[in-house]
Structure 1
Amino acid sequence: MSLTGALNSASSGLRTTQTLSSVAADNVANALTPGYTRRSAAVVSTANGQRGVTIADIRREVDASLQRMSRMETGKMVRYQVLDEGLSRYTAFLGQPGDGRSPADKFSAFQNSFTTLINMPSAHGAQSGVALAAEDLAQSVRGAATSLSTTLSEVDMEMRYEVADLNQALYQLQDLNAKRLAFEPGTANAANMGEQIDGLLDQISGIVDTRVSFSSTGTVSVYTVGGAALIEGQSVQDVTFNAGDGTLMAGQQDITPFKDGVRGLQHGSLVGLSELKRTVIPQFNAQLDEYARGLIQSFENADTSLAPGEAGLFTDNGAAYNPANLTGLASRLQVNEKVSLTGDGEVWRLRDGLGATSEGPAADTTQIAAFVDGFNAAVGAPASTGIAATVTLQDFAAEMVTSQSTARVRAENNYSAARTAAEMVNGTRSNAEGVNIDDEMQRLLLIEQSYAANSRVLTTVSNMIDTLIAAV
């Protein structure tokens, strides 16, 4: 080897070790940075017959298969997490059978008050006890309806936030796609750009399920699993949310989950929120409204003192039941002011009927018995409520509370299973793509040795050249 060849070889070695040490140092510095992917530099011989080495490219050690699995499992986990959290807040207010505050327990207390009244029909205390228990029951149903309405408002707000975050991430990707074209593949700048792109794709996968493709220039296009485009190169399809019907659109394409005829989203936070808004909460509302209807109609049908169109013990804001006004009935459930302790308080009507013009015989239990018999009548709830039409009024509240609590438990179990799967896949991805500091320190030691060897060659060549010059 000539002195010039040795000099070129050592010089290229120093430049290469400088880059290698920079890559290893970056790895060590970002070992604990969330989402950071280990980087490596490919060393190749120099071209054109020159002796030496150079860095062919700096690449991120990405496992594409693990990335896809990680994003899919994370999307599933977030979907069920949203469901679990949304249902937990509501069912915590709703209560459980046996806790003394759920609609089921309030109805049990209401039913027991009638047992006392039928045994002591003339006792003012027993009559007032029924009125008070009826007030508690109506308040419990209204409270559940209010809590469910609050949950729905929170879901709408969260969906707006998630859509805003999604659109922001898509426009950030659009910007990175444009910048990516300015960097040559295999450079440190291109690796940094890839880091940012993958971070955004991980964020997006927690909101909606995605399918990702890269062009030859490194720009990224993102689609939903159903095929709707979110971003193609520099073209972004804004995602919009209609709070009225819960529709989600990507540009002009409907991506609403669980909508007939639509290849909608399957996983991600927007799916969990959409499920709450379009499926779970409407069913819970329907159950509450049917229960309120059952209470109102049961006492209207059993009260022989009522004139047509006259309200019974339970009312729709003071009015009789109107089939055309079922929606939201639970939030309007009230006790008739004739017997309400905050109204006229004529509690003797609980013995003689709400439409009675005057007090009847003190020991007459005929009307009371008719009210009690109404507890065994089937409510006849439609199948969409998830509660059998044959369930009676006295069992409906317990069935409703159990049904809604079961939905929460199911969401909790699904979340637990999805979280375990996501943690397993993400752990595997972290191990495959993350930084092992011990490995990096060993690599730095080898780089240091290489640097020392190349420095020694340069020093030796320099001494030889000096000797030759001195000899001339």
Structure 2
Amino acid sequence: MALSGALSNALSGLTANSRAAALIASNISNATTEGYGQRSLVLGARGGSGGVQVIGVSRNVDQAVLADRRLSDSHTGYANDMQAFSSRVEKLLGASGEPGSLTTHFAAFENALLTAASDPSSMQRLQQVAFKAQDFTDKLNVVSDHIQAERGSADRSIASQVETVNTALGRIRQLNEAIKDSSVRDGDPSSLMDERQKVIDSISGIVPVRTISREFGEVAVHTASGVPLLDSMINSEPAVIGFTAANAVTADLTMIGGDLSGLTINGRPINSSNEGPLGGGTLGAQLQVRDVAAVDMQAVLDGLARDFLERFAAGGPDSTVGAGDPGLFTDAGSAFATTDEVGLAGRISLNSLVDPSGTGAWRIRDGLGAASQGAVGDATLMQGYTDALESLVPPSSANLGTSATSFSEHVSDFVSAVAAARVRADGEQSFSSAQNTALKELELSKGVDTDAELQTLLRIEQQYAANARVMSAVDELMQTLMNI
């Protein structure tokens, strides 16, 4: 081999060593950087006089682990949101016996009735019945308002998340084009690929997505169910997800009824539930809250309010209440119409005739339609109220089932059902969180190994020294020849 050839080969080795050392430095400094893919130098034999040439840089990411982790992000996001919703509602209802809880307010009303029945002449005890009755209906109102507030919050969250996904898809398209351009020009698009991975990760918790590799480093983004969101082989532009937020959400507004917006893709309506193509992540969780979980809770709560109101209505213990007149409890001041059950829990109120702040508490003893006060020692009506609450009667509301049950059992069943839903949500959250943590750890273990990088750096230093020694030896030989 000629001296010039040896010198050229050594120089190519030094160039490769220098580039490899720079990549190792980048790997080590970004070992904990989110979305960073470990780099390695791709080398090949140089034709002609020999030596080594740098073919390019390889970005090493385990795509299978990455895909599984992204799907796990979605499952975890869904589980977290559903657990948070269940916990908030359970906290609002309160635990049995806890001050301010729904069961405590009802028990206080029952006790006030019993206490007043033991001394019906006491105006203070009669007023206490009115106060406790009002406290219970106020609690129903608060719970109903909170459930609708949860639906409204979910509706706004859906709009925000849709905007986030649309923005991210546009950004991914831009990065795809930049990566393709860099690849065509034999550049190193690794940093652009890092950024693209972070952008895709940012929406993986919202919507479960999978990526498909295309030519020149591009990727297509599809939902887990196979709906294309960004795929240059289908459309050069990303899909546009549509959604219109509501100004306000009330119990009577539903998506099924056409009152609330569903999702669209490129203007076409899709299944806008958690089982739809965009379900499975936090977006699906908010759809589930707005259109299923909160709606079901409101329906049962309205059934409770109806059952409670009807036990004191016309035809009940108070014979002074005429047909069509409101009983002890009203629908926003009026008699309840059986077709207006939806949202009743937010409207139920104590009849103003026995307003505890006024002077009509005696009507709890003598009847709402009584012209004047009767015998102060007559506890018949209050005992009738107690019996009405304890009576085992089939509920008029289909949302409470068909079993003949006392009102206290209905309340306990509702509170227990909410608690059970929270327990199930806790279990799903715990499982998905553990799975997500395990996949993240596996992903990190396949990332930058700083110990391995340092060992490789030592080998590079040795190779660098060897190439430098060759160049030094060639220089010495050339000096010797020049001196002859």
What TM-score bracket applies, with the shorter chain setting the length? over 0.9
Partner of 1:184: helix, strand, or coil? helix
* Alignment match of 2:322 (pick from 284, 287, 307): 307
Aligned with residue 243 of structure 2, among 241, 244, 247 = 241
In the TM superposition, what is the alpha-carbon distance from 1:14 to its structure 2 partner? 0.9
Matched-pair contact (CA < 8 Å) for 2:208–2:280: yes
Q: Which moved more, 1:306-315 or 1:20-29?
A: 306-315
Q: Secondary structure at the match of 1:27?
A: helix
Which of 370, 377, 387 is the matching residue for 2:384? 370
SS at match of 1:236: coil
Q: Are the aligned partners of 1:387 and 1:400 in contact in 2 as well (CA < 8 Å)?
A: no
Work out whether residues 183 and 217 of structure 2, in 8 Å CA contact, stay in contact via their aligned partners in 1.
no
In structure 1, the residue matched to 2:419 is 405
| Other-structure match for 2:5 | 5
Which position in structure 2 is the counterpart of 1:108? 107
Secondary structure of residue in 2 paired with 1:319: coil
Preserved CA contact (<8 Å) 2:114 2:383: no
Match of 2:434 in 1: 420
* Amino acid of the structure 2 residue aligned with 1:189: D
CA change 1:379–1:282 in 2 (3 A) is farther
Tell me by how many angstroms 1:257 deviates.
4.9
Q: Distance in 2 between matches of 1:179 and 1:348?
A: 81
Q: Which residue of 1 aligns with 2:346?
A: 331
Give the corresponding residue for 1:182.
181
Q: Which residue of 1 aligns with 2:372?
A: 358
Shift of the alpha carbon at 1:106?
A: 0.7
Aligned position for 1:219: 218
**Does the Cα contact within 8 Å between 2:37 and 2:60 map onto a contact in 1?**
yes
Alignment of 1:162-181 (within 5 A): 162-181=161-180
Distance 2:301 2:292 in 1: 15
User: Whole-Å Cα distance in 2 between the matches of residues 386 and 295 of structure 1?
Assistant: 12
CA deviation map 1:267-316 (0-9, x unaligned): 21101111111111001111221111112111004121112211111111
Cα distance, 1:389 vs structure 2: 4.5
- For residues 13 and 324 of structure 2, what CA distance do their matches in structure 1 show? 97
Q: Give the stretch that moved more between structures: 318-327 or 184-193.
A: 184-193
Superposed displacement of residue 370, structure 1: 2.2
Q: Which residue of 1 aligns with 2:255?
A: none
Structure 2: segments with no counterpart, 5+ residues: 246-258
Mapped to 1, the partners of 2:12 and 2:209 lie a distance apart of 44
- 1:445 counterpart residue number: 458
2:284 maps to 1:271? yes
**Is the 2:279–2:285 Cα contact (8 Å) retained in structure 1?**
no
- Using the alignment, how far apart are the partners of 1:263 and 1:271 within structure 2? 8
CA distance in 2, matches of 1:409, 1:185: 54
CA distance in 2, matches of 1:187, 1:268: 38
When structure 1 is superposed on structure 2, of 55-64 and 161-170 the one drifting more is 55-64
Counterpart of 1:283 in structure 2 is 296
* Counterpart residue number, 2:146: 147
**Contact 2:109 2:136 (C-alpha < 8 Å) held by counterparts:** yes
Question: How far 1:392 moved relative to its partner?
Answer: 2.5
- Give the TM-score normalised by structure 2: 0.91
CA distance in 2, matches of 1:345, 1:283: 39
Describe how 1:186-225 pairs up with structure 2 within 5 A: 189-225=188-224
Q: CA deviation at 1:362?
A: 2.1
1:85 CA drift (Å)? 1.6
SS in 2 for 1:59: strand
Query: How do residues 380-395 of structure 1 correspond to structure 2 at under 5 angstroms?
Result: 380=395, 385=399, 389-395=403-409
Q: Secondary structure at the match of 1:155?
A: helix
Q: Which residue is equivalent to 2:305?
A: 292
Distance, in Å, in 1 between the alignment partners of 2:351 and 2:264 is 46
Contact 2:56 2:188 survives alignment (8 Å): no
How many residues are matched? Answer: 465
Local SS of the residue matching 1:71: helix
Identity of aligned residues (%): 28
1:58·1:187 contact (CA, 8 Å) conserved in 2?
Answer: no
Q: Is the 8 A contact 2:244 2:261 kept in 1?
A: yes
| 1:462 to 2:462 alignment | no
Contact 1:315 1:333 in 2 (8 A): yes
* The 10-residue stretch of structure 1 (243-252 or 305-314) with the greater mean CA deviation from structure 2: 243-252
Q: Is the 8 A contact 2:159 2:244 kept in 1?
A: no
Residue 329 of structure 1 deviates from its aligned partner by 1.3
Alignment-derived partner of residue 23 in structure 2:
23
Residue identity in the other structure for 2:481: L
Matching of residue 41 in structure 1 with residue 41 in structure 2: yes
8 Å Cα contact 1:27/1:38 also seen in 2: yes
SS of 1:330 mapped into structure 2:
helix
Deviations 1:243-262 (A, max 9, x none): 44352222234444547xx7
The residue type equivalent to 1:345 in the other structure is: T
Q: Distance in 1 between matches of 2:464 and 2:187?
A: 21
* 2:354 counterpart SS class: coil
Aligned CA-pair RMSD: 2.0
| Higher mean C-alpha displacement, 277-286 vs 438-447 | 438-447
Within-5 A mapping of 1:44-83: 44-46=44-46, 48-83=47-82
The structural deviation recorded for 1:386 is 6.8
Question: 1:25: Cα distance to partner?
Answer: 0.7
Separation in 2 of the partners of 1:246 and 1:405? 30
Q: How much does 1:431 deviate?
A: 0.4
Q: What residue ranges of structure 1 are gaps of 5+ in the alignment? A: none
Q: Could you give the per-residue CA deviations for residues 43-102 of structure 1, whole angstroms, max 9, x where no partner exists?
A: 2211x3331112223112211111111111111011100111222223222211110211
- Report the alpha carbon displacement of residue 130 of structure 1 after superposing the two structures with TM: 0.8
